[in-house]
Structures are given as structure tokens and as C-alpha cells.
Structure 1
Amino acid sequence: MRTKTISSFKNGLIVSCQALKHEPLFGAGHMAAMAAAAEAGGAAAIRANTPRDIEAIKKSCSLLVIGLYKMDYPDSPVYITPTIREAEAIVEAGADLIAVDATRRTRPDGETLSGLLGAIRARWPDRPVVADVSTFEEGAAAMDLGFDLISTTMSGYTPYSPQQEKPDIDLVARLASLGRKPVLAEGRIWTPAQCAACLRAGAHAVVVGTAITRPQEITRKFVNAIRSSVPFA
């Protein structure tokens, strides 16, 4: 089942439909509509945050959902599905795949990444698990642990990973060249050309969020371009 699920979105576009509380489109209804629009446009799958949004999205479209649950803990910088509690909540909401932070950073309550993966496997053995990593070393380690997919989601979001405005295509290429697990390209992908470059680098599929589903950031990009090119009095 895991292999079949993963193969269903090969060479496809996965649209990340997420909005935080301070953003204009925050709310399950908005995210469900966004997911339905993504499906109408040909998306292969959806990535979504929180049980509430996942449940609404599963009702609005027929695509597979990579679920995550962002939660802050005082003793850890890890916030993407940091414990089994968040994993349970998104599985109950209907997530078809589970995405977790697989960086080397300290986890809540001193739990290990291998311990979390083991707990997920014990409870949901047929549910694919995605490792969100920021470096090649983290990706290779996640492969060793037995994650089903490796995603470059966290590149640029840990202090020790490359801080750049463009997608980390080098990371995609290095992880894909190992030939061990499918690699999802994610992070700072703004154009169709960048999507194509990620696939040429060996990505199994490409995840795009902000460039499609966060209109305030899309607008800001246009506004900044205008301000930098037009002299104002």
C-alpha cells in the first residue's frame, strides 16, 4: 500500500495548502477551497496542516493528503508533527501520509526521531511517513531509519542549512542520487521552471505552497519588484 500511494504522485505537483492564524486565509473552509482549486488545476496531492484543515480538505477533493500538525513545545525548536500525539490527530482526521520534522535538532521530551518513527510504524504500518529534512546528512540518516520519502522542506529553516532565496536543488540532486528513497523537492519554489529543474535533478515530485496558496506573499513579491524598478517621488 505504501509503495502504491507514493507512486500515485510521481512527477506530479503537490500543493501545500496552509495558513497560520495571523493570515487572511486562515480557516478550514478557505484551505478546503484552495485544495479543490488545486485539484481542478491538475495537482497530484495536497500537503496540509492541522486535523481541522485535513478533515475539511478530504471532504472537498479526492487527492491524497500529506498531513502534518505544527505544534510548539517549550523544550524544542521542532514543530512539524513533533510527537505521536500530533501524528494520531492527523491520522484520525484522514491524512494519507504523515510528515514529521526529521532534522537533527532536540525533540520534545527528549524523544528520538527513531522512537517517533517506530511508534508511528507500530500503530499505522501501512501509512507512508515523510521525513522533512534540511541537509544531506539528515536525509541520509532518515533513509537509514526507514522513512518512506525524504523532503527538502526544512532547508533554509534550520540555522545550519543553506540560507538562500532559491530552491535547494543541490540537496534534491544529492539525495536523489543515492537511489534509496523517493525525494520530494520543497521550499522556495516560485516558478514552473524551478519545478522542472527539481524534477530533472531527480525529485519524485515537487511541493509548492507560498507561490500558489499565499496571496499576500505573492502580492508582496510583485509590489517589491515594482518598487525596485520604478522611481517614486
Structure 2
Amino acid sequence: MCVNLEKLRHGLIVSCQALEEEPLYTNEGGIMPLMAKAAELANAVGIRANGVRDIKEIKEAVDLPVVGILKKQYEGFEQHITVTMNEIDLLVEAGADIIAFDATMRPRPDGLTVNEFIGEIKSKYPNQLLMADVSTYEEGINAYKAGVHMVGSTLSGYTPYTAEKMGPDYDLIESLSNEIDIPVIAEGRIHYPDQAKKMLELGAFAVVVGGAITRPKEITERFISIMNTGE
């Protein structure tokens, strides 16, 4: 699929993921293509998916661009979202329309800086659309200058130096949107429609929501946590 990024503008990208330890994960086939189909019927503009199998099955099920990631933990390193060229190769082969990767400036298992990593991807796959998952303004600006096509707030609150952030990072979206001329994607702890709308008002190009839509265990836990407040 040749992705026209303008079709993502002000739209909702639904993250359809289930890791092996989660209830919706299945060994044979997957539930995520059904989640993706439901999102498509509701007029979502894209899907974010993890893993070769799910990406391939989702692309067969829906006619929407897929933001592909491949989660893999490397011993001794904090990153786990599309960390090395091996994951990039697999995602390209799977047909991910956009590849998202950890674009923080933390030490990497391949020994490269994130800028060197971006340069290698662009050299090997010059036509591949890239989304930088970042946690801070500085990381977003750095990824923009390195030549990515989109920057997402995905990792805000999930790095040791942003761990104090508990809700959607409105400030990060606003500051990046005011500074760079590529799509800024709001992602991370967006649990309610009014939060997604506020992100658009602050300049987000599009919004990614996953846990509030496709992870029933997390949704149930949020309800119970609030219901039990004050007991």
C-alpha cells in the first residue's frame, strides 16, 4: 500500500496488539485481525500492530495502513520496540506500511547511536515510511532532524527519565507540533475520547489509542481501580 499520510490527518489509529502473556493472544491465528476489522468499520484511519504474523493477517483483513512494530527485549538494554535492523528487515518483509521504532537516545544493543540507526534504515530502505517513538521533546527534535517521517509520543512515561508522567503528555505534543513540520502522533495513556480530542486541538496530526479499545483486561482494571477509590 502506498500511504497518503494526509488520509491520517485528525484520525484515530487503533493499536491492535496482544503479547504472549495476555488473554487475547492465541498461538494459531489471531484475534487482532478481528479487532482491526472492527476499528475499520468504525472509521479508524490506521492500525498499529506488533509482530510479523499479526501484521500479515491484519493487512489481509482490512484496507488500512498498518504501523508495524516488533517488540523484542535485549538483555541489558531498556528498549524493546523495533530495536535493531533485524526487526526492521522482518517488518519490511511483513509489509508494514509505516515502521515505528524506539528513537530515544539510550544506549543500543547494536552499538549505534539512534541517528546512525536511522541513517542505516534510510539507506537500506529509502522508500520506507518511519515513525519515531520518543519520550521527550529533545528526542523528537533529534529524530525529526535525522529524517523520519512521523514522530510519536509513544514512550513518554515509559523511560526512566519520564516515569513521573502518569497521563497523556499534552505538553510534548503541543511543543513538538509547534516546532516541526512533519506529522506528530499522539500516543500513550489516552484512555478517553475527550483526551484524544484535546490532543488534536494541541496540534496532533493523528491519535493512537490501544489499551482503551483493544485490551479488555486493562479496561476492566481501570474500572475496578476507580470504583474502589475511597473504600
Secondary structure, in 3 states, of the residue corresponding to 1:174? helix
Q: Does 1:169 align with 2:176?
A: no
In angstroms, what is the RMSD of aligned CA positions? 1.5
Please list every run of at least 4 consecutive aligned residues from structure 1 whose deviation after the TM superposition is greater than 6 angstroms.
Answer: none
| 1:159 aligned residue | 160
Distance in 1 separating the partners of 2:208 and 2:120: 26
List gaps (5 residues or longer) in structure 2: none
TM-score (norm 2): 0.95
> What do the CA deviations read for 1:6-58 (whole angstroms, capped 9, x no partner)?
22211100001111111110135211111111111111000011111101110
Number of equivalenced pairs: 229
Distance in 1 separating the partners of 2:91 and 2:44: 21
| 2:16 aligned residue | 17
Give 1:139 deviation, angstroms.
0.5
TM-score (norm 1): 0.94
Contact kept, 8 Å, 2:48 with 2:67, in 1: the verdict is yes
AA aligned opposite 1:223: I
| 2:7 aligned residue | 8
AA aligned opposite 1:77: E
Contact kept, 8 Å, 1:76 with 1:106, in 2: the verdict is yes
Distance in 1 separating the partners of 2:89 and 2:185: 23
**% identity of equivalent residues:** 47
Q: Does 1:123 align with 2:116?
A: no
Contact kept, 8 Å, 1:14 with 1:47, in 2: the verdict is yes
Distance in 1 separating the partners of 2:227 and 2:159: 31
Q: Does 1:100 align with 2:101?
A: yes
Give 1:178 deviation, angstroms.
0.5
| 1:188 aligned residue | 189
1:215-226 correspondence to structure 2 within 5 Å? 215-226=216-227
AA aligned opposite 1:191: Y
| 2:45 aligned residue | 44
List gaps (5 residues or longer) in structure 1: none
AA aligned opposite 2:222: K
Distance in 2 separating the partners of 1:218 and 1:141: 34
Give 1:70 deviation, angstroms.
0.6
AA aligned opposite 1:6: L
Secondary structure, in 3 states, of the residue corresponding to 1:118? helix
AA aligned opposite 2:105: R
